[in-house]
Structure 1
């Protein structure tokens, strides 16, 4: 995942919105060349901080404003006594406006500017100033070959504003993209830097607003909100006279033959995340394991949906899907749940059965698909989901009139009213079975404690991702159950039980 410091702003924008803010800054009296100089100084400071013993810089420059930033960084390095070369991939004669001025200033002070060739040697720190946020289609030549050379160099790499080849709006790699160790981005934080392929391309993310005043942003709507410890929705403290009846009764449904562990992971998470009472309905054969693993939960072994009906009248929230399967047993239990007028969390095979048209989604639900499940729900390919994850999350929330958690690198939480939140935390060690079951149980527990669906989903995703990041520090071999005590600890740190 990107190694982001939590000094980043919460507001996320699309590339066109940031260009509009940039234009407003210039219209308000800040010359464009001054903004370019501020960007170059911010980039230079990050380079020196990241590689304090470096003394050599190779800049690969295109022919847009991104290249202008690169020429000015080269100039700053040259003044500092570094050995500097600019390899011009884009023809410098195509530079216009402020970028042309930056090129001229670098040349005037003796910065070496050479035409890039496929065999050009890269040395020292490599600065990617090739392609900016305006890139729309696939990366074309000669840029694709230049990006391949950067990625094959095994040298430290810094990207100006965005790694070249990464879509600023979606986080999709447009054919090929630079793999940076650090990216310094400006004015407004781009949505595409925190989801999709960005996790493998951005490296450490540093933000500088170039002294843009808040009023400059004016009426420009935020495209998404980045979840951070400072802006998480609250969970109310508990009074000394609290009792279990005040904090909901979660019923978890799932665990067909061969999948009993999934529903137990969800059940234990719901219990440890503060639900007042927890019940589960599973195959009768799994009840002994449930009583052993989670004796605090009330376990019902059900062979048919009829055995579930009485319990549905006593609970306040349902979590349906972990280990449910798609056979007749799971289908019958899902059908019964769909007819219950209760807030619900649907995951796993509940979503696959929903996609098949077998059942309709009830109101007041949260659905938690991974990209493959999202693709089935939208009747498109997984690649299409991943090509524009924000759009896919919003499309799902509109189609099903529900809150959606689109899981994956840079998880997204979408509301039917258009709100979009993003969680960029996590760890590669989380690539293991059972993590989704833990998340489903966590969302259910927060719903039971009175949070609305969007807030519960946002808080659950953040807790889940940060618990994974915490446990991921121990490396490979992370088990889904490892997250449960970490989630409990993080929840208490965020929202103490007592004042």
Structure 2
């Protein structure tokens, strides 16, 4: 599990460690990890040019100590101090290690720029002098210390100029900005240096393959199709029959024992999936709304009468009942979530975590906000971020497949939070497998679900 903690949680944990270890021990460990990561990025140290941009906080100290280590190994290290006060010990170490402090870097293009400008306590945005210093080196690879300076650490939001890193070396634990967009897009590849901090439970998580494997429902030796769960799909319409096919494709990936279809696209569904049962009957979960058009409201009402967990997608989102109606998983994209909350889409995209949490609280439901890093949020604020996908998954019909996958997991017995986050992870991993890292179709993503599950359980 990749866990992301808040600034306050990290500081409390660091204080607990600092009370029992020698002064400077944590910073030395962090700086060593930072120096190793820079060396790895450069493919060596001797003769390389390293430029440090150093602010007043501990991140600046980490950069200075790492710079000293690199200078001792033969790198040419220059530091530009962006504050009148910087970490004294780090500055002394850099000078003792033959690093240089300069008012401005010389004309030589550095091999790497180390961002030690602002730490985890900084506000979003950068001061003009820091932004100007960065602008001089916009084509140079950047390693950020702990977080890219200028991002919203606890929110994942951006507001003004900020560092866009190629690599971010973080310490102790991931921070929320490393997982949540749009700030996560500024982090590049994130490397974690373990500081053995006594951290509390994390408010934000990102499932990894082992976590998904542990959560997947497995059939018992004496299982049959009904004990494994029946998922009902009420999707598609005369206008959008393909949505029914794609939604049942996601549901029919083998995670549940049976798929039952009710809707206007019976012939299309039967042609693709002869094993899908057509017609009313008992189910353990419903998926409604994908391509539902003007039939979505009635379909949602019928599904809610059954009192079983329900995935509410696409057109059905406009007809949500009051909070507390049942175990619901809402699967909006940013535009649909904006409509639900009465805000502009740009507001949702700029503050994705905040809006996913707000919708989960308002509707008393699990909300799966689809995006590059999809967010699954519970009404109590706990959230999971999906990092398994790729940009090629942004294709029409992919959301219909996702709704079906989540519905199958609900029918198989997972709770709404686990079903949504596990389903989102599987959906992303299936896209990678189906396209080999390249373009994918929603049909191929659905077809790859079984292989992904097999790899996890193999």
Q: Is the TM-score greater than 0.5?
A: yes
Aligned to 1:305: none
- Structure 1 residues 255 and 406, CA gap change in structure 2 (3 angstroms): same
Query: What's the offset of the Cα at 1:159?
Result: 1.2
Aligned to 1:453: 416
- Structure 1 residue 128 corresponds to structure 2 residue 115: yes
- Contact 2:156 / 2:353 at 8 angstroms: preserved in 1? no
Work out the CA distance in 2 between the residues paired with 1:469 and 1:408. 15
Work out the CA distance in 2 between the residues paired with 1:107 and 1:239. 65
- Contact 2:229 / 2:283 at 8 angstroms: preserved in 1? yes
- Structure 1 residues 111 and 191, CA gap change in structure 2 (3 angstroms): same
Aligned to 2:455: 493
TM-score when scaled to structure 1?
0.85
Which sections of structure 1, spanning at least 5 residues, go unmatched? 1-8, 301-310
- Structure 1 residues 160 and 345, CA gap change in structure 2 (3 angstroms): same
Please, which of 274, 290, 309 is the counterpart of residue 322 of structure 1?
290
Give 1:16-415 correspondences, 5 Å limit: 16-31=8-23, 33-53=24-44, 55-88=48-81, 90-91=82-83, 93-95=84-86, 99-116=87-104, 122-150=109-137, 152-153=138-139, 155-210=140-195, 212-213=196-197, 216-217=198-199, 220-232=200-212, 233-283=214-264, 286-299=265-278, 311=280, 313-325=281-293, 327=294, 329-354=295-320, 362-415=325-378
Work out the CA distance in 2 between the residues paired with 1:113 and 1:73. 14
Work out the CA distance in 2 between the residues paired with 1:197 and 1:472. 25
- Contact 2:235 / 2:247 at 8 angstroms: preserved in 1? no
Work out the CA distance in 2 between the residues paired with 1:21 and 1:458. 28
- Contact 1:443 / 1:456 at 8 angstroms: preserved in 2? yes
Query: What's the offset of the Cα at 1:122?
Result: 4.0
Work out the CA distance in 1 between the residues paired with 2:124 and 2:437. 40
Query: What's the offset of the Cα at 1:361?
Result: 7.4
Aligned residues: 455
Work out the CA distance in 2 between the residues paired with 1:266 and 1:172. 32
SS at structure 1 position matched to 2:123: coil
Most deviating of 189-198 and 136-145: 136-145
Work out the CA distance in 2 between the residues paired with 1:234 and 1:260. 32
Query: What's the offset of the Cα at 1:279?
Result: 2.2
- Structure 1 residue 440 corresponds to structure 2 residue 410: no
TM-score when scaled to structure 2?
0.92
Work out the CA distance in 1 between the residues paired with 2:109 and 2:9. 34
Work out the CA distance in 2 between the residues paired with 1:267 and 1:144. 50
- Structure 1 residues 100 and 174, CA gap change in structure 2 (3 angstroms): farther
- Structure 1 residues 121 and 471, CA gap change in structure 2 (3 angstroms): farther
SS at structure 2 position matched to 1:333: helix
Work out the CA distance in 2 between the residues paired with 1:374 and 1:361. 18
Which sections of structure 2, spanning at least 5 residues, go unmatched? none
